[in-house]
């Protein structure tokens, strides 16, 4: 059987958390009001401490997108990614991806993000397999729902196991790179766990299990980012 190399996106492939930056973008462009900002920050805090009900959060957020055409959203997110996020791809993430590629491993992005973000990240690092939270789309428009379980927490294990079965991958011989305590189920599931830029709870869990811990960073950031490194999520 083959070997997979699975990578989380936020604070792993990216030095920053894309959710935090997207909230900031929506606030700056007045797509998000004060009440929405407060709710988003609460969800970020819950995520940080492993308390977030991701499916419930997704249902609430996506309800506000019901009926919206997906292509303009893809275009907006892709442009935002190029301007504000692409610089944050970690040098070590690119090196790890190329290391696994050279060994013939199957490369996969495994993220709770939606395809809107996952697609440009996958293109930027040349990884074609992306497991993410899939949205229900009918006639090119969002229905306001997603396919459960979301690709979050134990949901990542669900999606990774299905992918592994379909592609002949042995998860016991595979690798997963992540920063978050919410990914502990998937880190436990693979044979080779790699803890990157961990939150405090994952750092403790990694130390207990003897997992390697690494710090990954991007080579440089735009000058406006120098004094602002989002780490809420």
pLDDT in tens, 43-86: 777 777 677 788 888 888 888 889 999 999 999 999 999 999 99
Confirm if 62 and 142 have CB atoms less than 8 A apart: yes
- Evaluate whether residue 148 is within a structural domain: yes
- Evaluate whether residue 20 is within a structural domain: yes
What's the pLDDT at 223? 52
How many domains are there within the chain?
1
* 229 has a pLDDT exceeding 90: no
% pLDDT > 70, the chain = 93
- For the stretch 12-37, pLDDT in tens is 999 998 888 878 877 888 777 788 77
- For the stretch 100-136, pLDDT in tens is 999 999 999 999 999 999 999 999 999 999 999 999 9
Alpha helix ranges (H) inside the chain: 18-28, 34-48, 54-63, 70-84, 91-102, 115-125, 154-167, 184-189, 200-209
- Evaluate whether residue 46 is within a structural domain: yes
Dist. CA 6–CA 131, nearest whole Å: 9
- Evaluate whether residue 233 is within a structural domain: no
- Evaluate whether residue 192 is within a structural domain: yes
Dist. CA 9–CA 93, nearest whole Å: 10
- Evaluate whether residue 231 is within a structural domain: no
Dist. CA 27–CA 21, nearest whole Å: 10
Domain coverage including residue 216: 4-222
- Evaluate whether residue 232 is within a structural domain: no
What's the pLDDT at 48? 72
- Evaluate whether residue 230 is within a structural domain: no
| CATH, residue 17 | 3.40.50.1000
What's the pLDDT at 233? 25
- Average pLDDT in the 141-156 region? 95
Confirm if 144 and 66 have CB atoms less than 8 A apart: yes
């Amino acid at each position: 059987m083959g070997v997979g190399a699975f990578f989380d996106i936020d604070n792993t492939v990216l030095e920053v958390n894309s959710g935090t930056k997207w909230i900031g973008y929506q606030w700056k462009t007045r797509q998000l009001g004060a009440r929405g900002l407060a709710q988003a920050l609460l969800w970020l805090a819950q995520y940080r401490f492993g308390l977030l009900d991701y499916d419930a959060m997704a249902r609430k957020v996506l309800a506000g997108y019901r009926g919206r055409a997906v292509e303009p959203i893809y275009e907006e997110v892709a442009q935002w990614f190029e301007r504000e996020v692409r610089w944050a791809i970690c040098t070590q993430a690119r090196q790890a991806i190329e290391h696994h590629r050279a060994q013939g491993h199957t490369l996969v992005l495994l993220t709770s993000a939606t395809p809107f973000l996952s697609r440009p990240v996958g293109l930027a690092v040349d990884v074609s397999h992306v497991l993410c939270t899939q949205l229900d789309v009918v006639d090119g428009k969002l229905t306001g729902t997603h396919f459960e379980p979301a690709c979050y927490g134990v949901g990542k294990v669900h999606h990774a196991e299905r992918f592994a079965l379909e592609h002949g991958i042995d998860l016991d011989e595979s690798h997963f790179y992540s920063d978050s305590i919410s990914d502990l189920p998937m880190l436990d599931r693979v044979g080779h766990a790699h803890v990157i830029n961990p939150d405090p709870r994952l750092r403790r869990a990694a130390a207990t299990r003897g997992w390697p811990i690494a710090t990954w960073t991007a080579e440089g950031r735009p000058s406006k980012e120098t004094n602002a490194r989002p780490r809420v999520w």
